[in-house]
Amino acid sequence: MLTRYGMSTYVAFRNLGNLLTLAVFSQSEQLKSPCSLYLLSMTICNLICLNVGIIPIIYSLDHIDISSQFVIVCQIQFYIRHSFFQMMRTYKVLGCIDRYAICSVNVNIRSFSKRKIAIYLIIIFALFWLTTVIFFGWSRTIENGSFMKSLKQLRSRVQPRIEDKEKSQSINVLRKRDRDLIKIVFIEVIFYVISTMSFSIYLIYKMMTDYLIKSRERKQIESFINYIFQSFIMYLNTGLPFYIYISTSSSFRRDLKRIFIKFYAFIMRKQIRYELDDSVRTITIRH
């Protein structure tokens, strides 16, 4: 019941959230920010991890579980899920570093927060994890219809002086966007630590009690807890960011509203005049 209805529900809502997040961070204004590029890349990874990891589980309720019948499917699924999970975590860290850099008074540290550097790092780490995880994907085997893992270890920004009033207003908007990015990255990291900490505690408990002789009821309880962590908690961060962004960032809400207005104008074939910000500009949407 939890798999059929619980997973189906949160997969639908999280996919919706990820797609809306992609739409927001794909806007031209957002693509100028290195942190937005990291968050955009992280959202793509979230989409892949969520669907590759959960949809086969839901599908196997009423059909054959091909991942437990064919070694190659098991290995490919693990490889895709694990490599993009690692990418997601790496981009999250890079986003934190970028926000630290942009707030630094040291010009050398602040120079890290550049769009070109962000693009290079996104590509480099994508290639790194896609290559590194190949070994772990092929190290998985199937025994008695279940996956066996052979791993042994679980492991005050300086502001430029601008005389021109119009440019100054534009910089103020960028400062607001930067502040919002700092806020959402910080809150997202807090949620990530809380969600992963609980799973880490469970893993430590499991390692410490594996040698014990356990009753049938205890094994059932531990099996259910493991199911909750593996199927729900582990994928919590793949769909949570959108709901964090929309609840904490006014810039994100404004950009999302703008996307809905554009979509409405496109569907209704109307011309809409929409004030984005008093100090920025007015946009006109034409079909």
Report the pLDDT averaged over residues 139-161.
44
Q: What would the pLDDT profile of 231-245 be if each residue is shown by its tens digit? A: 777 777 787 888 888
- Say if residues 68 and 57 touch (Cβ distance below 8 Å): no
Quote the pTM value.
Answer: 0.74
Q: What would the pLDDT profile of 102-117 be if each residue is shown by its tens digit? A: 888 888 888 888 999 9
Report the pLDDT averaged over residues 127-141.
76
98: exposed, middle or buried (Cβ count in 10 Å: 0-12, 13-18, 19+): buried
- Say if residues 156 and 109 touch (Cβ distance below 8 Å): no
Q: What is the tally of helices (H) and strands (E) in the chain?
A: 10, 4
**Three-class SS state of 27:** coil
Q: Is residue 137 very low, low, confident or very high in pLDDT (cuts 50, 70, 90)?
A: low
Q: What are phi and psi of 146, to 5 degrees?
A: -130, 160
- Select the more confidently predicted residue: 274 or 22: 22
What is the set of domains in the chain, with CATH numbers? Answer: 2-249 (1.20.1070.10)
Question: What b/e sequence results for 236-275 when a residue is b if at least 16 CB atoms lie within 10 Å of its CB, and e otherwise?
Answer: bbbbbbbebbbeebebbeebbebeeebeebeeeeeeeeee
Cα–Cα distances in angstroms (integers) from residue 180 to residues 99, 168, 177, 221, 248, in the given order: 10, 19, 5, 42, 8
**Tell me, what's the pLDDT at 22?**
92
Q: Is the pLDDT of residue 285 over 50?
A: no
**Tell me, what's the pLDDT at 261?**
83
Q: Is the pLDDT of residue 154 over 50?
A: no
**Tell me, what's the pLDDT at 119?**
94
Q: Is residue 74 very low, low, confident or very high in pLDDT (cuts 50, 70, 90)?
A: confident
Q: Is the pLDDT of residue 39 over 60?
A: yes
Q: Is residue 78 very low, low, confident or very high in pLDDT (cuts 50, 70, 90)?
A: confident
Q: Is residue 155 very low, low, confident or very high in pLDDT (cuts 50, 70, 90)?
A: very low
Q: What percent of the chain has pLDDT over 70?
A: 79
Report the pLDDT averaged over residues 69-91.
86
Q: Is residue 212 very low, low, confident or very high in pLDDT (cuts 50, 70, 90)?
A: confident
Cα–Cα distances in angstroms (integers) from residue 66 to residues 72, 115, 142, 171, 237, in the given order: 10, 42, 12, 54, 26
